[in-house]
Amino acid sequence: MSDDFLYFDCFRCRMHTGKIKIINRVFREKIMAAFSDIDKDVEREMARIEQEYSFDPDHDDPADVTLGAYEKGIEYGINLSEAKCLFLALTTVALYHDWEKSIIAFLRKEIERNNKNPNISKWDDIVKWLEVYDTPITTYGFYNDLNELRLVSHTIKHGKGPSYDKLKKLHATVLSPKEQGECSYSVGELSMLGVKLYIEQDDFDRYVAALLSFWDYEFWNKIGDKRCKKPAPESA
């Protein structure tokens, strides 16, 4: 039997899905937990500023001290909100690049059995080699979210450019603010991201789901976990 195939075996799929779940859990329980109640954080900051102010009854008006604490507290809250959105964006980048690293390593290991030093280093290479082994990723249900994750990751890293333009052509929802969105502080040329990109928690959840779907062994077992190389077209 030929060994020229990609094998999405149960152990490997389980290893990759486990890592994705860990990233997601750490993100929620460690990073996002730090921003779980920004309103209370703002209140505490206002109280701290007002309490630590060296009040001089001969020159200071209590109302001015309270107003000053309020203004600095609001600024503190805006900074927290922007930081929250920045951490969300940076974790999105990490999420994609972990998948990219994993799939490239997987393809190289599988393909090198029969192809010496296959050139696999970017998205187009991944898509091409999957297609060679009868795995048309662009037709699978998780593809749109996975592709959007890729474009969002590159946009976060590089700002406006080809990936951002592709997101606009796709009319990606992350380019418009959501009615109940929390990340309006993260957009614009003067923001930390330097580009209009409204990534919310539900977007991150979509991306996690897409990556879990890609490495879902039940999916590969159903359609064939050994993806054989397609025969070369016959010469005319």
Instruction: List C-alpha distances in Å: 55 to 60, 61, 64, 93, 213.
Output: 6, 9, 11, 47, 60
Give backbone dihedrals phi and psi of 5, rounded to 5 degrees, phi first. Answer: -155, 165
pLDDT at 236: 44
Q: Which of 78-87, 93-102, 144-153, 199-208 has the lowest mean pLDDT?
A: 78-87
Segment 197-216 shows an average pLDDT of: 95
Looking at residue 34, its pLDDT comes to 92
The span from the CA of 25 to the CA of 35, in Å, is: 15
pLDDT at 187: 60
* φ, ψ dihedrals at 208, nearest 5°: -60, -45
CA atoms within 13 A on the CB side of 87: 18
Least confidently predicted of 90-94, 129-133, 191-195: 191-195
The answer to whether 8 touches 225, Cβ cutoff 8 Å, is yes
pLDDT at 3 (0 to 100): 77
Please tell me which residue, 117 or 16, carries the higher pLDDT value.
16
For residue range 161-189, list pLDDT tens digits in order: 999 999 999 999 999 888 777 776 556 66
Query: For the segment 22-59, what is each residue's pLDDT rounded down to a tens digit?
Result: 999 999 999 999 999 999 999 999 899 888 777 667 67
pLDDT of residue 115: 78
pLDDT surpassing 70 at residue 233? no
Residue 210 confidence (pLDDT): 98
Give the pLDDT mean for 206-233.
93
Residue 14 vs residue 60, higher pLDDT: 14
More confident residue, 8 or 233: 8
pLDDT at 176: 87
Higher pLDDT, 128 or 231: 128
Q: Using one digit for the tens of pLDDT, what is the confidence trace for 67-119?
A: 888 899 999 998 898 889 889 999 999 999 999 999 999 999 999 888 777 88
* Residue 95: Cβ within 10 Å count: 22
Look at residue 114 in the predicted model and tell me its pLDDT. Answer: 83
Has residue 229 got a pLDDT over 70? yes
Q: What is the mean pLDDT of the chain?
A: 89
Helix, strand, coil share of the chain (percent; to 5): 65, 5, 30
